[in-house]
A and B are shown apart, each in its own frame.
Chain A
Amino acid sequence: MKLTLVGVSHHQAPVELRERVAVDIAGASALARSLADGCEAVVLSTCNRTELYLASDRDAALEEHAGRALLDLAGDEGAALAPVLYRLGDDSAALHLFRVAAGLDSLVPGEGEILGQVRDAFEAGTTGPLLDRLFRQALHAGRRARVETAIGESPASVPAAAAALAQQVFGELGGRGVVLVGAGKMSELTARNLRTRGASVLAVANRTMEHGVELARQVGGRAIALDALPEELRRADVVVSSTSAPGFVLDVARAGAALRGRRGRPLLFVDLAVPRDVDPALAGVDGCFVYDVDDLEAVVEASIAGRRAEAVRAERIVASEAERFREWQTSLAVVPAIASLRARAEEIRAAELAKAEGRLGRLPESERRLVEAVTSQIVAKLLHTPTVRLKEAAAAADGVIYADVVRHLFGLGEEEQQS
C-alpha cells in the first residue's frame, strides 16, 4: 500500500497562493470524500498549509490525482501554484505529518493549535487502515513532543507572555481580577488571553469614558474613570496598562495607599505603553511585580529560543515515531504470507482431524473438544516463532525475501495458484 502527500505550505508559497487552496473543515471533508475513490484520503488545511494525504494500492495515479485536486482548488492561480507544490511518499510523507503534528513545521515551533487541526482533519477524512494508523500515530507523536519536551509551554506573543507571567505569580487564574488601564488593542488582546485562562476583568479605566464602556462591553467588567483607579487596585490581581499618557499613570504616591490596603497580596503590573504608564519604582513595593513591554518582548524572545532548543529533542521523538510507523508499514508486506501460512496450517489440521473422524466419533464430547484444543495449540506454537521472525525481518527491510522463502517452503504460492 502506497502513501502519498501533495501539499503547499508557508515554506514556499506566499499567503496569496495559500489562501486560494485553503478549505474549512466541511470543505476538507467534502474534498476527502471526492478524492477517496478506491483510496483513503485526508485533507489537512490550516493557515500555513493545505496538504492532501492519499493511500492506495494504485501507485501511479495517486500523486497525479492529488496534484490535480489542488490545482483545481487554485483555479486561475494554478500555474503559479504548480512549481511550489511538494510531493512526498511513504516514509517521507509520514515523517512530515509527524513533524507537522508536533508543531515542528510551524512558524512558531510547538504552536498549540496544529494538533487539534490535525485531529479535525483526521476525523473529517475518509480513512482506511493506513491513514487511520498514520494519523493516530501522528497525534501520538504530537502529544509526546508536547509532554516530553517544553516545546509548547512558553508563550510566543506579548499578550501570551503577560498571561504566562500572571500564572507564574498566581497559578490558576480562575477567580483572579484584572483591571485594564487604557482601551488600546494590546490591552484588549492581553485581557482576552487572561480571560481564556480563567481570569475576569473587573474594570476598564480610560480617559475617554465611551471607549472604556465599549471595551468593557467586549471583555467584561465595568468602565471607570482614571481617578477611580487607585481604589480598584485594592481588589485587582493583574493590572494591564496601555494608555497614551505622556507620564506615569500609576506611581508610588498615587497607588501607595491602595497597595498598603492589600495586606501583602501579590499584584502584577503589565505595562504595555510607550512611554510607560507604571512607575518602575512600584517594583520595590513588597508583593508588586512590574513588567514593561521590553521585559515582555525579552521573555517572548527567550521563550522562542527555548522552543527552538526543545525542538531538537522533539525531532528525536518524531523520528522514533516515524521509524515505528515505517516498521509497521513494512510489516504489511509479510502479512499476506503470514495469513496464508496460518490458513494452510489450519487447513491441514482440520483435514487430519476429519480423517480421524471415524475413531474420534467414539470419544465423548469433552474429549473431542480436548483433541481440538490440543491440535490448535500445537499449530499456534509451531507458527509463533516463524510469525515473529517474519515480522522482524519485515522491519529490517528483507521481509519480502523471507515471505517468498516461506511461500516456497510451504508451497503457499502453488496452493494459491492451484486454487
Chain B
Amino acid sequence: MAELLVWPVLIAYGEAAFAYAGELRGPGFAGRLAVWGVRLGWIAQTALLVVQAIDTDGFPWGTWAGALNLFVWLVVGAYLIWGCRPRYRLLGLAVMPPAAALLVAAWAGGGTGVTTRDEPGALLAFHVGLMLAGFAGLTLAAGMAALYLWQERRLKRRDAHLLRLRVPPLDALDRLSARTSLTSLVVLSAGMVVGLASFQRGDFDAAIAVSLAIWALVASSLLLRFEVGVRGRRFAVLLMLVLGLVVVVLPITHFAS
C-alpha cells in the first residue's frame, strides 16, 4: 500500500515543480495547476505517512531516508500555509523542485516503504519529529530568503519587466522569513530539550554538533536582526548559510554517523 501511495505523491510534486516554472512566464493556469499539485501531493503523502505509521512496527522514519520523507512532508505542509495565495506562488519555485528531488532520494533510499524497526521509544520519536519540523521551517525560511535575494536583485537592477511576475513584496518576505525562523528556533529548542532527556555520555556525534551550530547560527541571526537591525539582504544571506548547514552538512554528518 505504501509503495503504491508514493507514486501519486511523486507525480503531484513533480507536476507542481514543472508548473511553477510555467508560472514564471506569467500568472495564470500554470500557477493554479501547481497549487493543486502541491495540495493533492501533500494529501497523498499524508496518507502515505499514516500507512507507514500503522503498518510499521516501531518508528517508521528512523533511517535517513525515512527522516527525509517526513522532512519533505513538513516542508511542503509549512509551504502550503502561504503557497496557495497567488502572490506567494513563486515561493513554490524555491520549495517544490527540491522537495520533489528529496522525496525521490527518500524513495530510492527505502524511506517510503514499510519495514520493521527497533522500537526507539516515544521520547526519541518526539525528539526526531520536533527536530525535523524545526529544520523544515528553516528550509522554508531559507526559500523565502532566496526569493528575497532574487527579487531584491531585480529591484536593484531596475528590471523593466519587474511587474510582470507576481512576487511577494520584499518587506513581507523579510518579515515572514524572520517569523518562520523564530518559530523554527523554538521548535528546534524544544526538540533539543527532549533529546537531552535521553542523552547519554558518548552519544555526542557530528549530527548533534551540526544541529547545535544551526541553532546557534539562527539564534545569532535573530539576535542581530532585533538588536542591531541586520535585516533584508544581510539577514537573507544568513538564512542561506543556515540552509547550507541543513541541506548539505546535516545529511552528510547523518550518513557518516
Interface residues of A (CB under 8 A from B): 148-150, 153-155, 161, 164-165, 167-171, 262-266, 283, 286-287, 289, 291, 295, 298-299, 301-303, 306, 309-310, 313
State the Cβ distance, B225 to closest chain A Cβ, in Å: 8
Cβ contact within 8 Å between B155 and A289: yes
Residues of B within 8 A of A287 (CB): 231-233
- Measured CA separation A19–B28 after assembly (Å): 38
Tell which of B28, B151, B162, B231 touches A150, judged by Cβ atoms closer than 8 Å.
Answer: B28
- Residues of the B chain whose Cβ atoms lie less than 8 Å from the Cβ of A154: 163-164
For the complex of A and B, 3 pairs with smallest distance between CB atoms? A263-B229, A171-B169, A298-B160
Complex contacts, B229 vs chain A, CB 8 Å: 262-264
Which listed residue, A148, A263, A309, A313, touches B231 by the CB 8 Å rule?
A: A263
CB-defined A-B contacts under 8 Å, sample of 30: A149-B26, A150-B166, A153-B27, A155-B163, A161-B163, A165-B155, A165-B162, A168-B155, A168-B167, A169-B171, A263-B229, A263-B231, A264-B229, A264-B231, A264-B232, A264-B235, A286-B232, A286-B234, A289-B155, A299-B160, A301-B160, A302-B160, A302-B161, A302-B163, A303-B163, A303-B164, A306-B161, A306-B163, A306-B164, A313-B28
Main secondary structure of the interface of A (DSSP, over half): helix
Q: Report B6 CB to chain A, min CB distance, Å.
A: 34
With a 10 A CB-CB cut-off, give which of B163, B228, B230 has the most chain A CB atoms: B163
Tell whether B255 is near chain A: CB-to-CB under 8 Å: no
**What are the interface flags for B96-140 relative to A under an 8 Å C-beta threshold, 1 for contact and 0 otherwise?**
000000000000000000000000000000000000000000000
Flag if A148 contacts B232 (CB, 8 Å).
no
Whether A283 pairs with B169 at a CB distance below 8 angstroms is no
The interface residues of chain B lying within 8 Å CB-to-CB of A303 are: 163-164
B242: interface (CB < 8 Å)? no
Please determine whether B160 and A168 come into contact, CB atoms closer than 8 angstroms: no
A287 CA to B233 CA in the complex, in Å? 8
Query: Shortest distance in angstroms between A335's beta carbon and chain B's nearest beta carbon?
Result: 35
B25 to A, closest residue via Cβ: A309
- Partner pick for B230 among A149, A264, A301, CB 8 A cutoff: A264
Given the known interface contacts A169-B155, A302-B161, A313-B28, the answer about A266 and B167 at a Cβ–Cβ threshold of 8 Å is no
Docked Cα-Cα span, A148 to B28, in Å, equals 6
A168 near B162: Cβ-Cβ < 8 Å: yes
Assuming the contacts A153-B163, A264-B229, asked whether A295 and B169 have C-beta atoms less than 8 A apart, the reply is no
Chain B, Cβ-Cβ closest to A153: B163
Nearest chain B residue, comparing its CB with the CB of A298: B160
| Residues of A with C-beta under 8 A to B160 | 295, 298-299, 301-302
Q: A154-B164, A165-B155 are in contact. List 18 more A-B contacts (CB 8 A).
A: A150-B164, A153-B166, A165-B163, A168-B151, A168-B169, A171-B169, A171-B172, A264-B229, A264-B232, A264-B235, A266-B170, A287-B231, A302-B164, A303-B163, A306-B161, A306-B163, A309-B26, A310-B26
